[in-house]
Amino acid sequence: MVPAYALTGDLPEAQDAIQEAFVRAVARPAKVLDADNPEAWLRTVALNVARSRFRRRVRMDTLLRRVPASPRALPGISSSRLEVIAAMRKLPAVQAAVNVRGVAASGRPCH
């Protein structure tokens, strides 16, 4: 458990990775028995599961940051402001950043 915990930094995540490794071992007993060192095989599978879950979590976090918030999640913002935000999201990042600075410098309220 220590290597999986060292990799994940999260005890429940490490436990889940180890449990998944045992599930895979039970599903493929011949593979475990053919290994020179079954304990090392189990440890390697657990670490690979932990790495895969970490990569998947990083990808999901990145994707979730890219998903625009729905209008219902932004109370108090006018529909015209939402239209401007939607249009700015279609712009290249540099151009959108310049436009955001311009709106902020204008002193107009952002609602």
pLDDT tens column, 59-89: 888 887 776 655 555 556 677 766 776 776 6
Torsion of CA 83, 85, 88, 89, to 10 degrees: -110
How far, in Å, CA of 24 to CA of 31, rounded?
Answer: 10
User: Is this prediction's pTM over 0.85?
Assistant: no
* Sole residue written with tokens 């180890």: 18
8 Å CB contact between 32 and 25: yes
How far, in Å, CA of 79 to CA of 69, rounded?
Answer: 13
Domain boundaries, the chain: 2-66, 71-105
* Sole residue written with tokens 């490794």: 21
Residues of the chain with pLDDT under 70: 1, 67-77, 81-82, 85, 88-89, 91-111
Q: Report the sign of the C-alpha dihedral through residues 34, 35, 36, 37, in that order.
A: negative
CB-neighbour burial class of residue 96 (10 A; exposed 0-12, middle 13-18, buried 19+): middle
